[in-house]
A and B are shown apart, each in its own frame.
Chain A
């Protein structure tokens, strides 16, 4: 690969300076589990990588009702934290299945978001938790909803000189529950053929106050099944309604046929996974009331 320099960043300014200087010939290095593979395959040709694991602000992991995760925080720190696992099981679902243990020692949600692959396992969970992405750049900080972060295959909202600093999840409402599930032919070390995250917020009357459903691997970007969400809001969370919502989610899926799966298979799986995650989210929502 093209020889590049390595910068162990100590401040946010340092990162934005290097990124601004090199443009698309510099990238952040967090876990490296996507970047190094891509560099070897020639997807990118870089002059510099900026290690944000050495940046304290990118390693924040605090739970205060709300959750702040620095963009360099590896998955294992998230799911091994008992308090986070209790408060945000729907996030832990995604964090605990990215690759195997070795990958989870390094890979994190930040990198997963910035890699912006359609099959990213942690992104749908962030979307259904109403996560906010804090971006740092030469002009300061700005926020973008996780749902708007990924804009295309391997494309996102980051501009010249910007990088993802952290992801914030608001404190879940009472009666909130979420879950993520994906389908893979092997039990681990695999990539989603289709993935679905669902969240349900139950109102005091037991009806669905809010619902979010985000799909992975069935469109160029993670996609929200808005019609399915709208259908559920205001309704009883019955099996029949969940089934109907799952059907509507299927229609939101716009997959392609490739080596990992066919259109029919992926759409079918979206229906199955939506039903399963809505059911699980509902269980968790009831426990959280």
Chain B
């Protein structure tokens, strides 16, 4: 008899708890259990990126993560990008650059792009394309998406070393996290 599991996590900055069956994916958990439908299902097998969310400091396909796995972790979805102060610069740029047509891939692209610019604000076109290759779009041909990311990158400050990079520098080779 498989029972639901009580999970405690941080979702878009807020402590959140929920009950979920072990076999339910994080995608299903977000959409059906928690009720945040901004993250979309496109293929349910890790090939389109529409379900991209951030878990701790990494983007993942939430269709390939179990809901129970985010115990104690930080999850960011598209609903967590804007603040009371306003839209995230990427959201604003997507609107200005017309980087969406049907919009179904947009949440995934926003979360993925944000993760890139957080660590590499000056990523060039090739790097942006490489980073976003796990997100499929069928409407735009990607052109205006890339331009929106470049636009935000151009106006942002060069990164201080991210936490991970700084730790890597300090940590002797071979030491574990």
A and B touch in their complex, CB below 8 angstroms: yes
CB-CB contacts below 8 Å: B1-51 with A: 2, 5, 21-23, 25, 44-47, 49
Q: Which of A4, A82, A188 meets B134, CB within 8 Å?
A: A188
Q: How many A-B residue pairs have CB under 8 A?
A: 102
Query: Smallest Cβ distance from A76 to chain B, in angstroms?
Result: 7
Q: Which chain B residue lies CB-closest to A73?
A: B176
Q: Smallest distance from the beta carbon of B128 to chain A beta carbons, Å?
A: 11
| Contact status B66-A102, CB under 8 Å | no
- Decide: B176 and A59 in contact? CB cutoff 8 A: yes
Are A106 and B133 in contact, with the CB atoms below 8 A?
A: no
Is the pair A5, B22 in contact by a Cβ cutoff of 8 Å?
Answer: yes
Stretch at the interface among B93-101, B150-158, B167-175: B167-175
B69 within 8 A of A: yes
Query: Once the chains bind, are B61 and A188 in contact (CB under 8 Å)?
Result: no
Closest B residue by C-beta to A87: B173
A136 to chain B, nearest CB (A): 18
The count of residues in chain A whose C-beta lies closer than 8 Å to any C-beta of chain B is 41
A6 to B134, CA, bound (A): 28
B134 proximity list for chain A (CB < 8 A)? 99-103, 188-189
**B68 part of interface (Cβ distance < 8 Å):** yes
Majority DSSP secondary structure for residues of B touching A? mixed
A105 at interface (Cβ–Cβ under 8 A)?
Answer: yes
Quick check: B59 and A102 within 8 Å, CB to CB? yes
Contacts A64-B174, A102-B61; is A36 near B66 (CB within 8 Å)?
yes
B60: Cβ under 8 A from any A Cβ = yes
Contact B46 A37 (CB under 8 A): yes
- List which A82-131 residues lie within 8 A (CB) of chain B: 82-84, 99-103, 105-106
Beyond A33-B46, A102-B59, A103-B46, is A49–B22 a contact (Cβ under 8 Å)? yes
Residue A63 at the B interface, CB < 8 A? Answer: yes
Q: What's the minimum C-beta distance from B150 to chain A, rounded to whole angstroms?
A: 18
CB proximity of A24 to chain B, nearest CB, Å: 17
Of all A-B residue pairs in the complex, the 4 with the closest CB atoms, nearest first, are: A100-B134, A6-B22, A62-B174, A105-B58
11 A-B pairs in the complex with CB atoms less than 8 angstroms apart: A1-B23, A2-B23, A3-B23, A4-B23, A5-B22, A33-B64, A37-B64, A81-B173, A105-B55, A105-B59, A189-B133
Apart from A63-B174, A102-B59, what 17 extra A-B contacts exist at CB < 8 Å? A3-B22, A4-B23, A5-B22, A31-B64, A32-B65, A36-B25, A37-B45, A51-B69, A62-B173, A62-B175, A83-B173, A99-B46, A100-B49, A103-B46, A188-B130, A188-B134, A189-B47
List residues of chain A with CB under 8 Å of any chain B CB: 1-6, 8, 29, 31-33, 36-37, 39-40, 49, 51, 53, 56, 59-64, 76, 80-84, 99-103, 105-106, 187-189
